[in-house]
Structure 1
Amino acid sequence: MTAEFFAPVASPQHPRTRFADRHVGPSPDDHARMLAAIGYSGVEALIDDAVPAAIRTTRPLDLPPALSESAALARLRELASRNTVLTSMIGLGYYGTITPGVILRNVLENPGWYTAYTPYQPEISQGRLEALLNFQTMVGDLTGLPVANASMLDEGTAAAEAMALAHRASKRKEPGAFLVDADALPQTIEVIRTRAVPLGIDVVTADLSDGLPDGDFFGVLLQYPGASGAVRDLAPVTAQAHERGALVVVAADLLALTLLRPPGEYGADIAVGSAQRFGVPYGFGGPHAGYLAVRDGLQRQLPGRLVGVSVDADGATAYRLALQTREQHIRREKATSNICTAQVLLAVMAAMYAVYHGPEGLAAIAQRVHRRAVELASGLRAGGVEVVHEAFFDTVLARVPGRADEVVAAALERGINLRRVDADHVGIACDETTAPEHVAAVLEAFGAAPAPAGDPADRIPGELRRESPYLTHPVFHEHRSETAMLRYLRRLQDKDIALDRSMIPLGSCTMKLNAATEMEPITWPEFANIHPFAPLDQAAGYLELIAELEERLAEITGYAKVSVQPNAGSQGELAGLLAIRGYHASRGEGHRTVCLIPSSAHGTNAASAVMAGMRVVVVKCDADGDIDLDDLHAKIDKHRAELAAIMVTYPSTHGVFEETITEVCAAVHEAGGQVYVDGANLNALVGLARPGEFGSDVSHLNLHKTFCIPHGGGGPGVGPIGVREHLVPFLPSHPLRPEAGPGEGRGAGPVSAAPWGSAGILPISWTYIAMMGPDGLRAATEGAIIAANYVAKRLAPHYPILYTGRNGLVAHECIADLRKITKETGITAEDVAKRLIDYGFHAPTLAFPVAGTLMIEPTESEDLAELDRFCDAMIQIRREIQRVADGVYDRADNPLKNAPHTAECLITEDWKHPYSREEAAYPLPSLRENKYWPPVRRIDQAYGDRNLVCACPPPEAFED
């Protein structure tokens, strides 16, 4: 068939020839019907009534015209062609790896995995929760520590969180400093420094090869193996640290731990690192799953997310996020870290890599990697080159006095990137992709002969070799054939609800279309296989794409400059607050540390402010959900001399465009503070308003919300920050790449281990903006506002809509208030959330920002049929609630209290409920055609916290 056969045809029956028309779900006729239901004849009238004139931009988006999908891919091919993919043997925490095709195809490229949301609703998340439990088990086994979390953003972030954990856990009256091994990864050291400054922690680096220096330390970080490749016995330093009351953190390579004695056996308290080399490509620095594991006694201080094992209503084993009281929506300013620090999709890939290979396969890969490094070292020695370290795993450090540049250049001529450590030393890292010809080429570059024949001895001392078993659970042994692996992945996927199955109406989370064309480039070798520290002329296409994306985001938001380094919204928040902190310090006003945060704000805001060394002062909201101006002015007056900033979410988390936002900004500026506008709800502003124009100084932008990077089950995300001109010098910087920051000697330091953060997924947002164009971006915003108001209008007769702006309109989301219903009937918002599962829907955001409510965000990409299907479900559920109120259903035994219903509970012979099985399973006729069957019933959250199990349970646990 010819290409023309597949080309869209412009006709009344098929008018959607532009990408924007396919991204926005409803057709123009559908929008007309929706507008009529809201009470408007056109979109302009609705926007004029919904969006305050004071914030509206006076100029259209100055962006290139929209590209077609084929033209966008052609442009990306052009950019990709400017990247040069060589063999990188640089190391520094990033290694070549081979992604098994079954994982590439069925996880990374599968919308059933990449469009899923964070598993806060565990009953419809059992597949990805099991995959994350596999990840935790893998990390715990390999590190020799009993509890691991469900991933961190990267190794640098994990190390910084470990420092903060050690600081909190220290029982010393005077905690002292945090001591870092000089042989730690340089980017890790600098991320630690960035995070330490606002917390008032001193960071000391020292050569720990001969023991601890003098001084008081609450924690010690060791790299294992070191950045130089050295493998050292950790026992002496660990013992010394414990004798002096310090906790020991080991940054360990997971692949090396298949051969090396694990940190837990040395007595380490915490282990951190990256799972990148378990099947996740370089991606020019990310996204990659970091990890963090702790000894017993520290698990309740573990940052991030922790998957645990519980039971459901029938007593069956079920998974859920454990210890959720740590979540920032609850703890807010008392939070010790930001929970939005996970890389779920990449953790799933790494875990499945371990499932695919099993312990024997991983050990074989590690042995092969070590063998290549040993052959390399043997050849260098035979050629008269000094090899610095006797014991190593995969990285060889060669001493070549005055010849480092010459050797690196010679290797480059042979298509290989080596690491220039200094003028006298070159580092060579072997990995899963290293072949004999690479070893031979490197030896030629050094002027050495091919490796001598024979079988050179291993370079891991016997006393440091691992003897303990790992990955003993059956899951790491049962899926050796590709058929078995394929079916295992499919079985897990089928347990979950992702965007490929139905609408996910989560308020403030913007779960919208992640188009296949946007996703396609991320697996191209020219984007996937570039090392983050490769020479920049090998990444010319990447740099051009990043520059274009930063410029376009700046144009969209009205800021002077954007940095894409923050690799999550949480890191964007932190980076923005660090910029404000640096600005005040540069003016001699370092005493400004008070951060005002409205009570309606995202809980992550308060957590980020604390991490940035600020003191949170909460500002009240009025009965309409807006910032209480009297309380704001009172708080400003009270803290005027020490006011650093206010963090405002706009539109507000209550789902309205607050009329007073410009007054709020002006009041804070008049007092000498800065304005931080949280960009989580930017989907209601693009093309209509620019935060940088209506009074904001800095915002983070969630590319995984407004700009279409998928949520991936809870990561990856990207949270770049945009700043006005006066804050540009305080953007994130990077020690190994000055080009990634605001210039030499400037910047707040790195907030991510990689210079441009999760660069590997930036093509997604670039492609979205390129294909939408200025008109399409505005149309998406308008569509989101139409959809939210349509849903609010349809639901209002059945559920009170808690907050509305002027003219009774909402922004991009609405809040259904169930508090009165709960008081009258006993049916809670959680009951409605669980009953929606029986209707095939993921619940809206539960109990945030107001307890007893559901926050609904339909987004622009859901078509009218799906919006109506959701509204029909909510309306039918309201009828069920009425049956409870009328006494038709028992108040304790009804379809809502017992939801969700599994197939197993419905086919039991012992059905004793006063409602029928049909009412439970098929409350709407349409469900007979397309029914999602939840794998478990409602999960007992308290049981899981009382009985904390965070690794794969033994098979006996699944017996009846």
Structure 2
Amino acid sequence: MTQTDFSDRHIGPSADDQSRMLAEIGFADLAALVGASVPAAIRSDADLDLPAALSEPAALRRLRELAAANTVKSSLIGLGYYGTITPGVILRNVLENPGWYTAYTPYQPEISQGRLEALLNFQTVVSDLTGVPTANASMLDEGTAAAEGMALALRATKRKEAGSFVIDADTFPQTVEVIKGRATPLGIDVVVADLSDGLPEGDIFGVLLQYPGMSGEVWDLKPVIEAAHARGAKVVVAADLLALTLLTPPGELGADIVVGSAQRFGVPFGFGGPHAGYMAVREELQRQLPGRLVGVSVDNEGRRAYRLALQTREQHIRREKATSNICTAQVLLAVMASMYAVYHGPDGLKAIAERVHRLTSAFARSIGDQEVEGFEVLNSAYFDTLTIALPGSAEAVVKHAADAGFNIRLVGPQIVAVSFDETVTQDDLQVLLEAFEQRAFRRAVVVSEPSDAIPAGLRRESAYLTHPVFHEHRSETSMLRYLRRLQDKDIALDRSMIPLGSCTMKLNSTTEMEPITWPEFANIHPFAPIEQAAGYVELIGELEGWLAEITGYARVSVQPNAGSQGELAGLLAVKGYHDSRGEGHRNVCLIPSSAHGTNAASAVMAGMKVVVVKCDDNGNVDLTDLHAKIDKHAADLSVIMVTYPSTHGVYEETIVDICASVHAAGGQVYVDGANLNALVGLARPGRFGADVSHLNLHKTFCIPHGGGGPGVGPVAVGEHLAPFLPNHPLRPEAGPETGVGPISAAPWGSAGILPIPWAYIAMMGPDGLTRATEVAILSANYLARRLSPHFPILYTGRNGLVAHECIADLRKITKDTGVTAEDVAKRLIDYGFHAPTLSFPVAGTLMIEPTESEDLAELDRFADAMIAIKAEIDRVASGEWDRDDNPLHNAPHTAETLLSADWKHPYSREEAAYPVASLREGKYWPPVGRIDGVYGDRNLVCSCPPPEAFED
């Protein structure tokens, strides 16, 4: 093997392994397998036109060149993005640690207790600082959180006629535009007004206030909140968490919903993301709260245990009745932010905030010195941001500051704004002052005493972060051990394969991951002058071009920061296209019953009417029903959303005909790119009939899942839809002038992690990408063949083959023995595995996706575990083991349970703990037993329980 063979490092099965696997399923080579499984009608007629594969060293050299083209300055621009210092112990042991970044969404809570505790800490931080009792486990960013806040306010007021949503004029511009983009398809009227003098006239269902405001102004929101409540409206406050260590929390001022970003809690700029947004709500709104909520339940031995609460709200289940289309959250970044709070504690956070405020006050006093006329601080009260009137050209001052190493914000011809953060020093103030005044002889004021820039009535008096976890880990040694203790509770990709169907949990290589923490990528503000981000612009341009080539579309936008956001962007592009042709009445979205639940939720958010198309007994779209629905809705047909290969893991033979039929009726075709892992190099959706797709870079293109995010969900479109891609109010370069507005708060979404898919594509090259797809198909069919004598495979395509995943059907087993798919999922934990996808898309089944990066030994280890579990089921079926007291029903088994003195089960401790001999070499011990989901949903506890709760 040479250094050029990255694809051989990424693809698990060796050439010899592949030969053995092919022989098992009866094919001579990969070409024969692909020819037998992938319909000829969709096959590409040309190889991928991509650069030849780079070696790992060459890819890093090229990324170094791109990084060097960026210019890192101290960005004091603000607008929701601030310089921050990531503690080294968190940088190395969370962000750079595969034990954290390769974990999956904690749908199997027994093997997710570490990340669930970290997320509970995050919820506690948000709840405590905002003064609102119930917080979720992260949102995508501040702008989209505010848009979700608007939607929640509308639901909560239960109005037949929406009325208006009013936004204070001192709100971040990207937030305003994201909200407008969400409001338009729902028919909501958005009013932007200066609310310092009160609310405008008219029927209002909701109000959004920024706290502190974009200008930096801190003012008493209580009168406006009370006036809104008097008119039956809900109030959303977008708040800065660091400021809330000093300011009266919004909950105490009467806010119903509080949103924002946790970015400045140790998460770098990353040219706009990824960052953890947040949302907190009053108790009466908690069951309508979008996103994920970590709560406290108990396991089968009565131990306290964490789980995702209210999972039935998830869009996979609720579909068009979902409260949101959120799928990916920002778990990895929420974990970082929560650990920043754990490490610093309440006193440390307050000290950081006080220091930032003192430096801001020092600059305000310095620049307002009457020795130099014409400089005036326009804020009457502030935390960290000053708006300053100048005696001369603001553009000149911005340039002088940039020459001195600082980016500041241009507000008007003679007005600038400066936002200070924890990275700023007293020496920086001196340099910045000289840049403003263009003279070097006057010293900046030093402020050591408390500032009076926060009104006495708005100074925080209530306590926060009182739970012991925020007081116990001051030393790095203690913090290091806490992180390790949580990590050891979980199963992530560094421990075993994660065979989740539809989720493509594959290798996230170290070389791909390494560049994201380089300062030249991590420390660029999203609104820094574009010439300072030249390397980013080039990288993004190359990546978008490569993704367009891979998918066969004309244009790609990487702005959507999750698959759900990509879906919405694609549907809004379709809506914009129809509107431009005078066919705005087209609003029907056809969705097969097998589709991802986010599809229906996204369609509703885009203002469309969902019409479900049946699937036949083989899991394919029922063409008879499809044509009937097309005929019925032809005049109003907007789009069909089809997942391909299907959610059932099958290449449907009729996809080209489906596309043609919808086009003939004037509709567009949306192919959900969740399963693109089975198409890359073999077929291009943009060439076989689709008009638009979103792509999951956190699936097919190796961005790690991070326990439930970050994700990136670019939208790819045909030439006719390109004018309707997302754009951005602060970045004309980020999208077409005719675009639909921003989908995410940042111009290029989660740009900070785009070096990962860039590196993956660059190092795999066209041949490696194609071979990865072929091996993904091979691995899925190998597992299907090994498992089929023991568990029926529910759906297959041509020649009895599957695509990149297969569904094991346990429904008859359950009927005959009482052993459920959930029992098998939990028993797999005892074997050291994360379970496959449970009961989706079909209840009572397990959807299995091995990916191309698992080697044959691991595939066989998983197959052997499943076959051994089937043998255990047979012992239940024969009556040897009791239906209600057997290793499957009682799984998973904790060490504490196995060591108890009163073991009374009809199977041995050894059978429970070591069902196969290999487990004695490296056993994963689950920290808790089977968790009671019903108890957790009925007894919501969504912030750190008090210490007394853990007493016996």
Task: Please classify the TM superposition score into its range, dividing by the shorter chain length.
Answer: over 0.9
Alignment of 1:500-539 (within 5 A): 500-539=494-533
Q: Does 1:288 align with 2:278?
A: no
* Structure 1 match to 2:884: 892
Asked whether the equivalents of residues 808 and 847 of structure 2 are also in contact (C-alpha less than 8 Å), the reply is yes
Residue-by-residue CA offset, 1:143-196 (whole Å, 9 max, x unaligned): 000000000000001000000000011144533100001000000000000111
Opposite residue 750 of structure 2, the aligned amino acid is: S
Counterpart check, 1:597 vs 2:591: yes
Deviation at 1:453, TM superposition (A): 5.3
How far off its partner does 1:333 sit? 1.1
1:754 to 721, 740, 746: 746
Q: Is the partner of 1:950 in helix, strand or coil?
A: coil
Aligned-partner Cα distance in 2 for 1:452–1:146: 40
The separation in 2 between residues aligned to 1:782 and 1:173, in whole angstroms, is 52
Any conservation in 2 of the 1:902–1:934 contact (CA below 8 Å)? yes
Question: What are the residue-to-residue correspondences of 1:772-791 with 2, within 5 Å?
Answer: 772-791=764-783
**1:877-925 Cα deviation digits (max 9, x unpaired):** 0000000000011001000000000000000001111111011000000
Q: Distance in 1 between the 2:234 and 2:4 partners?
A: 61
Q: Secondary structure at the match of 1:693?
A: coil
Please tell me whether residue 808 in structure 1 is matched to residue 795 in structure 2.
no
Question: Matched residues in 2 for 1:145 and 1:439: separation?
Answer: 36
Which residue number in structure 2 is paired with residue 223 of structure 1? 210
- Superposed CA deviations along residues 782-815 of structure 1, whole A, max 9, x for unmatched, are 0100000000000000000000001000000000
Contact conserved, 1:597 with 1:618, CA < 8 A, in 2?
Answer: yes
Q: From 904, 907, 911, give the equivalent of 1:915.
A: 907
TM-score (norm 2): 0.99
1:34-64 Cα offsets, whole Å, 9 max, x none, are 0000001111111000000000000100000
- Residue of 311, 314, 323 corresponding to 1:327: 314
In structure 2, how many angstroms separate the alpha carbons of the residues matched to 1:536 and 1:329?
Answer: 39
1:307 and 2:294 are equivalent in the alignment: yes
Instruction: Give the counterpart of 1:652 among 639, 646, 657.
Output: 646
User: Residue in 1 aligned with 2:24?
Assistant: 37
Residue 238 of structure 1: aligned partner? 225
Match 2:624 to one of 614, 626, 630: 630
Choose from 539, 556, 559 the match for 1:565: 559
Where 1:547 maps in the other structure, the secondary structure is helix
> 1:73: how far off?
0.1
Per mean C-alpha deviation after superposition, the further-off stretch among 326-335 and 861-870 is: 326-335
Partner SS for 2:570: helix
Q: Return closer, same or farther for 1:629/1:472 CA change in 2, 3 Å cut-off.
A: same
Structure 2 residue aligned with 1:6:
none
Does the CA-based 8 Å contact 1:316-1:958 persist in structure 2? no
Deviation at 1:440, TM superposition (A): 1.4
Question: What is the distance in 2 between the residues matched to 1:171 and 1:903?
Answer: 50
User: Following superposition of structure 1 onto structure 2, how do residues 131-150 of structure 1 map, counting pairs within 5 Å?
Assistant: 131-150=118-137
2:254 aligned residue: 267
Asked if 1:101 is matched to 2:88, the reply is yes
Distance 1:390 1:617 in 2: 54
Is this contact kept in 2: 1:79–1:542, CA < 8 A? yes
Q: 2:897 aligns with which of 899, 905, 928?
A: 905
Contact 1:199 1:611 (8 Å CA) reproduced: yes
TM-score by length of 1: 0.98
* % identity of equivalent residues: 77
Contact 1:318–1:939 (8 Å) recurs in 2: yes
> Given residue 152 of structure 1, which amino acid in structure 2 is its aligned partner?
M
2:678 aligned residue: 684
Corresponding position: 1:737 with 2:727: no
Distance 1:852 1:328 in 2: 19
Q: For residue 75 of structure 2, what is the amino acid of its counterpart?
A: S
Q: Partner of 1:336 in structure 2? A: 323
Selected match of 1:89 from 53, 58, 76: 76
Q: Secondary structure at the match of 1:428?
A: strand
1:768 to 760, 763, 774: 760
**Cα contact 1:401–1:423 (8 A) shared by 2:** no
Distance 2:34 2:327 in 1: 32
Gaps of 5+ in 1: 1-8, 11-15
Match of 1:188 among 171, 175, 190: 175
Tell me the distance in 2 between the aligned counterparts of 1:27 and 1:196. Answer: 52
Q: Deviations over 1:575-609 (max 9, x none)?
A: 00000011001111111111000001111111111
Task: Please say if 1:418 is aligned against 2:408.
Answer: yes
Structure 1 residue 458: Cα displacement: 3.0
Rounded to whole Å, the distance in 2 between the matches of 1:453 and 1:679 is 56
Cα distance in 1 between the residues matched to 2:667 and 2:446 = 69
Q: How far apart are the structure 1 equivalents of 2:294 and 2:108?
A: 12
State which drifts further: 36-45 or 402-411. Answer: 402-411
State the SS of the aligned residue for 1:321: strand
The match for 2:359 among 363, 372, 382 is 372
For residues 852 and 635 of structure 1, the distance between their equivalents in structure 2, rounded to whole angstroms, comes to: 29
Q: Which whole-Å CA distance do the structure 2 matches of 1:450 and 1:890 have between them?
A: 83
Over 3 Å counting, the alpha-carbon distance change for 1:455 and 1:837 in structure 2 is closer
Residue 345 (structure 1) aligns with: 332
* Cα distance, 1:646 vs structure 2: 0.3
Query: 729-738 vs 445-454, which deviates more?
Result: 445-454
Equivalent in the alignment of 2:387: 397
SS at match of 2:284: coil
Correspondence 1:579 to 2:573 = yes
Equivalent position SS for 1:757: coil
Distance 2:808 2:896 in 1: 32
Q: Deviations over 1:444-479 (max 9, x none)?
A: 122174323565733111110000000000000001
Q: Secondary structure at the match of 1:220?
A: strand
Report the 3-state secondary structure (helix = DSSP H, G, I; strand = E; otherwise coil) of the residue aligned with 2:238.
strand
For these two proteins, the number of residue pairs brought into alignment is 945
Question: Would the aligned equivalents of 2:559 and 2:746 in 1 still touch at CA under 8 Å?
Answer: yes
CA contact (8 A) 2:355 2:422 kept: yes
2:754 is paired with a residue whose SS is helix
The answer (yes or no) to whether the contact 1:336–1:611 under 8 Å persists in 2 is no
2:825 & 2:698 partners in 1: Cα distance?
Answer: 24
Tell me the residue number matched to 2:444.
451
Gaps of 5+ in 2: none
Paired AA for residue 816 in structure 1: A
Q: Secondary structure at the match of 1:308?
A: strand
* 2:781 equivalent to 1:794: no
Query: Cα 1:455–1:498, aligned 2, differ >3 Å: closer, same or farther?
Result: closer
- 1:276 is aligned with what amino acid? Q
- CA-to-partner distance for each residue in 1:456-513, whole Å, 9 max, x for gaps? 7331111100000000000000011100000000000000000000000000000000
- Among candidates 598, 612, 634, match of residue 618 of structure 1: 612
Bigger shift: residues 447-456 or 664-673? 447-456
1:5 maps to none
What amino acid is the match of 1:862?
E
Deviation >4 Å, runs of 4+: 453-456
Give me the whole-angstrom Cα distance separating, in 1, the residues matched to 2:403 and 2:677.
47
Given that 1:72 and 1:767 are in contact with CA atoms closer than 8 Å, whether structure 2 keeps it comes out as: yes
Give the superposition deviation at 1:341: 4.3
- 2:686 is paired with a residue of what secondary structure? helix
Q: Find the aligned partners of 2:22 and 2:685 in 1 and give their Cα distance.
A: 27
2:698 paired residue number: 704
Tell me by how many angstroms 1:424 deviates.
2.1
**C-alpha separation between the residues in 1 aligned to 2:824 and 2:447?**
69
